[in-house]
Structure 1
Amino acid sequence: MYTRKNQRDLTRTEKRRLVDAILKLKRSGRYDDFVVMHREYYVMDTERRPRPAHMTSSFFPWHRQYLLEFEKALRGVDAGVSVPYWDWTQDNKPTSSLWAEDFLGGNGRTGDRQVTTGAFAYGAGNWSVGRGVTDEHYLTRNFGRPGRDPVSLPTEGDLARALKDPVYDTEPWNSVCSEGFRNRVEGWGIQGVRGVGLHNRVHQWVGGPMAGAASPEDPVFWLHHSFIDLLWDRWRTAHPDSAYRPGRKPASPSRDRDYVFGLDEAMPPWGVTPRKLLDHSRTYRYA
């Protein structure tokens, strides 16, 4: 069993080893495979096909397995590496430790939003974004999306309200659910009722590829989703009698019947069920 730490608690050596492992995955082509996978399974609930990853009850278990697969690849490069988490309620400034030169690099520059600091800057020669994602090959970020429509990172209060919801998910099990922990965290919001929140707001705050289906193009994706995974742990601890829902495939004539994954239905591409992912205690823990 290994430990996932808060990124702010990483030593200089731990940061270097993580960055080096990510760069080696990139050079091997394995990193890009993970980006392609996320794009493939980023299915909108307006599409008429199964959607295991987003706008759905299996948002948490699908990303838990996805993160485990990425972590397995990283540990194949360096067995001492794991994916730290970014608590964006605390480290919520462009000067926070994860954006340092020796870790993920900082915000994009004015104009083209190109990241020019850190190991993932295009100019460093290690990181090229593409494969149908963008015309540019460099990583971009646009912290806070300044201008007409700025966005802020979620607060401790925002997170506390989500964690208080005792129900895991509700019908229609998609992006318009007004209740339930899953959509409160995933954060699609409802037009005219509440704004986009938590998980989605963080993606928008970072900007660049993080704001779209190819979000893993930015390595901060993994730290963000490590924290999302930790939040699922916290919610399950706070609500021990609250189960994953739906426990089985929704009954007909639900519009989403054929697109939602119940507790014992195998999620692509791994064929693992949400039930198998409820307990990770034999694999990793959070510090």
Structure 2
Amino acid sequence: MYTRKNQRDLTRTEKKRLVSALLELKRSGRYDEFVTLHGRHYVTDDEEGPRASHMTPSFFPWHRRFLLEFERALRAVDPGVSVPYWDWTTDNSPASSLWAEDFLGGTGRAGDGKVMTGAFAHANGNWNIRARVGDGSFLTRNLGRPSDPVSLPTRQDVAKALSDPLYDAGPWNSTVTRGFRNKIEGWGSGGTATTYNHNRVHRWVGGVMLGATSPNDPVFWLHHAFMDLLWDRWQRAHPDSGYLPRRKLPASDPQHGRVFSLHEPMPPWDVTPAQLLDHGRVYRYA
């Protein structure tokens, strides 16, 4: 078992090793495979087909498996590396340590959002954006969106979501107003008002984090490690609650065949949410 640490507690050496492992995954082409996979499985309410990763109850287990697969690839490069988490309720400024030159680099320049600092800056020649939606071969960010400011979620925002003992509810999509899942994932009516928690963080970072190929920005993994930690906290706070729906939805339900119940295998791994409820044998959070 290994430990996922708060990114602010990483030593200089740990940061260097993580950046090196990320760059090696990128060189090998493996990193872009993860970006493509995420883009392929980003299916909205209005699109046809199964919805395993977003706007759906399996948001948490799907991303837990996605992170685990990515972490295994990282640890194959360097067994001493794990994915740290970014607690954006505390490290909530463009001046926070994760945006430093020696770690993820900072915000993008005015005009095109091109990131100019850190190991992932395009000028260094190691981080070409290949798997993408739209144009642009370089990493982009617009931290805080100065021209139309957006703030990161607060501890109170997270606490409100964590206090809900219900995991999720019908109609099992972006419009749900009850339950922990959508209060953290952060969709509003019809999937358009992306203003809460997880979604608000994507908006705050901006650039490539706004699209379905958001893992092009390495901060994606730190953000979703925190999502995973919050799911863990919710489970501990509500031991008598659990993943919903527990049973396959009936054929009469509009979400039949699109939403994954507790024991239905999720693509692309053929693993069920039930198999991903507990991470305790694999990793822990510091």
Give TM class, smaller chain.
over 0.9
State the partner residue of 2:238. 239
State the partner residue of 1:15. 15
Alpha-carbon shift at residue 195 of structure 1 (Å): 6.1
Alpha-carbon shift at residue 208 of structure 1 (Å): 0.7
List structure 1 runs of 4+ shifted beyond 6 angstroms.
none
- Report the Cα distance in structure 2 between the residues aligned to 1:98 and 1:219, rounded to whole angstroms: 11
Alignment of 1:101-116 (within 5 A): 101-116=101-116
State the partner residue of 1:131. 131
Q: TM-score, normalised by structure 1?
A: 0.97
The CA RMSD over aligned residues, in Å, is: 1.5
Matched residue of 1:285: which SS?
Answer: strand
Alpha-carbon shift at residue 262 of structure 1 (Å): 0.5
Task: Determine if the alignment matches structure 1 residue 170 to structure 2 residue 169.
Answer: yes
State the partner residue of 2:256. 257
CA-to-aligned-CA distance 1:160-180 (integer Å, 9 cap, x gap): 000000000000110000010
Asked if the contact 2:187/2:193 (under 8 Å) is kept, the reply is no
State the partner residue of 1:3. 3
Asked if the contact 2:38/2:215 (under 8 Å) is kept, the reply is yes
Asked if the contact 2:89/2:152 (under 8 Å) is kept, the reply is yes
State the partner residue of 2:25. 25
Letter in 1 for 2:110: T
For the structure 1 residues 30 and 194, does the alpha-carbon distance in structure 2 shift closer, same or farther, using more than 3 Å as the test?
A: closer
- Report the Cα distance in structure 1 between the residues aligned to 2:194 and 2:33, rounded to whole angstroms: 32
Alpha-carbon shift at residue 26 of structure 1 (Å): 0.1
Asked if the contact 2:62/2:273 (under 8 Å) is kept, the reply is yes
CA-to-aligned-CA distance 1:31-83 (integer Å, 9 cap, x gap): 00000000000000111200100000000000000000000000000000000
State the partner residue of 2:76. 76
State the partner residue of 2:97. 97
Alpha-carbon shift at residue 112 of structure 1 (Å): 1.4
Moved more, 87-96 or 182-191: 182-191
- Report the Cα distance in structure 1 between the residues aligned to 2:67 and 2:38, rounded to whole angstroms: 11
For the structure 1 residues 195 and 214, does the alpha-carbon distance in structure 2 shift closer, same or farther, using more than 3 Å as the test?
A: closer
Alignment of 1:173-184 (within 5 A): 173-184=172-183
- Aligned residues, how many? 286
State the partner residue of 1:224. 223
Asked if the contact 2:43/2:53 (under 8 Å) is kept, the reply is yes
What 5-or-longer segments of structure 1 have no aligned partner? none
State the partner residue of 1:43. 43
- Report the Cα distance in structure 1 between the residues aligned to 2:77 and 2:207, rounded to whole angstroms: 27
- Report the Cα distance in structure 2 between the residues aligned to 1:201 and 1:214, rounded to whole angstroms: 16
CA-to-aligned-CA distance 1:236-271 (integer Å, 9 cap, x gap): 000000010000112232111110000000000000
- Report the Cα distance in structure 2 between the residues aligned to 1:66 and 1:11, rounded to whole angstroms: 26
Asked if the contact 2:106/2:118 (under 8 Å) is kept, the reply is yes
Asked if the contact 2:131/2:213 (under 8 Å) is kept, the reply is no
Matched residue of 2:245: which SS?
Answer: coil
Alignment of 1:116-127 (within 5 A): 116-127=116-127
Alpha-carbon shift at residue 151 of structure 1 (Å): 1.6
Moved more, 124-133 or 51-60: 124-133
Moved more, 249-258 or 271-280: 249-258
- Report the Cα distance in structure 2 between the residues aligned to 1:7 and 1:132, rounded to whole angstroms: 26
For the structure 1 residues 69 and 194, does the alpha-carbon distance in structure 2 shift closer, same or farther, using more than 3 Å as the test?
A: closer
Matched residue of 2:189: which SS?
Answer: coil
What 5-or-longer segments of structure 2 have no aligned partner? none
State the partner residue of 1:154. 153
- Report the Cα distance in structure 2 between the residues aligned to 1:135 and 1:49, rounded to whole angstroms: 26
Letter in 2 for 1:236: Q
Alpha-carbon shift at residue 127 of structure 1 (Å): 0.4
